[in-house]
Structure 1
């Protein structure tokens, strides 16, 4: 796999001081607790677009400023604590526009990660996630606690998988799709890019891009124009 859990780490900042950002702080601390020496992260603090929180502290760490802070800190790694795929994509593009390109890939020590897999930069895999083998996960994907990813799955960039979602084998999930809590995706199904699948939905058939789907079996209830996420 293209992520080495034994890589030498360094300084890191977390973008977003909301609930997910604070969960990622805990995740990084758990990684540090399971590691030693050069394999730990030095957590510098937070970046947030809300100027009102600049100079304050969250979890006893300073809010350092907004994304422009990265211009003077090119060697610092970044992780994005934002759950909504469209917003996460926009933040990543802003960071890249600043010339910054160090995104941390974080995998919780309790996650089960298969062999012969690919995991892209900036992806976060949370506690008690279970995966098997021969799957590909793109960049800046978020897989929340207790979710399951099976064999031969493909999760494209910016996908969000909510807690306890179950993805069966040979599934393809398009870029930027948001899969809800406790949702299930059956074997061999494809979900189009930038779709939203509701909590508890059971996806038994292919879903188009840019739709919202709910129910068991899941059916589209809303369609969005192409590029709605931009």
Structure 2
């Protein structure tokens, strides 16, 4: 029997991460943990919904992975867990992902099946790389970055904290996407994008902007 782990979040992403954890084969999945403020079923995918932060705080030996896709919501949940519970956040890499040499993974980072990371890459904490995403040399992804399925980053790309790239989007070499910026599905980033905006299209253009600190309202 492996080390105990719980999955925070009982939606579709939670069920995907359950499969990922089972495919790794090193963990004993205790069940799902949820936000107490919202209703949840007693069971998901044949496993119990165990409770909320009180359940985690009483079991500091249980690792936890936050299965929430939206970066701002994931950040808020991580901060709530850190404030009340000392549980570890392991980095999880699917056995059918390819991670090359000199790739650094922050705590709580998730690398899904089919992802490919070449070399000299740094991922911050609680980064989520979805299926079939690819990262080339010298990419840097800061905390809480999310890549949807099929995102492609060329070399030397910098994604600032909380950046979220939609399905099938891509970034050409040596471009920066600002903190808490959203890039739409299928977009191609050919120039730097500022923080706190939404961009889409080929090439990607800014469609709207948010006030700095908007992500803090997700707490």
Same-fold call, TM > 0.5?
Answer: yes
Q: Which runs of 5+ in 2 are unaligned?
A: none
SS at match of 1:187: coil
List, as ranges, runs of 4+ consecutive aligned residues in structure 1 with deviation greater than 6 Å: none
User: Could you say which residue in structure 2 is the equivalent of 1:25?
Assistant: 18
Cα distance between partner residues in 1 of 2:2 and 2:191 = 42
Q: Secondary structure at the match of 2:76?
A: helix
TM-superposition CA deviations, 1:20-61 (whole Å, max 9, x none): 0000000011111xxxxxxx201000011255326x111111
Give the gaps of 5 or more residues in structure 1. Answer: 1-7, 33-39
Rounded Cα–Cα distance in structure 2 between residues aligned with 1:83 and 1:100: 22
More strand by share: 2
Q: Aligned equivalents of 1:126 and 1:184: distance in 2?
A: 18
Query: Which residue is equivalent to 2:79?
Result: 93
Listed as ranges, the matches of 1:38-117 within 5 Å are 40-49=26-35, 52-53=39-40, 56-117=42-103
Alignment partners' CA distance in 2, 1:49 and 1:92:
11
Q: Distance in 2 between matches of 1:197 and 1:123?
A: 20
CA deviation profile, 1:103-147 (whole Å, cap 9, x unmatched): 121100000001012110000000000110001000000000000
The TM-score, its normalising length taken from structure 2, stands at: 0.95
Alpha-carbon shift at residue 9 of structure 1 (Å) = 5.7
Correspondences of 1:151-166 after superposition (within 5 Å): 151-166=137-152
Q: Is the 8 A contact 2:62 2:87 kept in 1?
A: no
What's the RMSD between the two structures over aligned residues?
1.3
Whether contact under 8 Å (2:57, 2:87) holds in the other structure is no
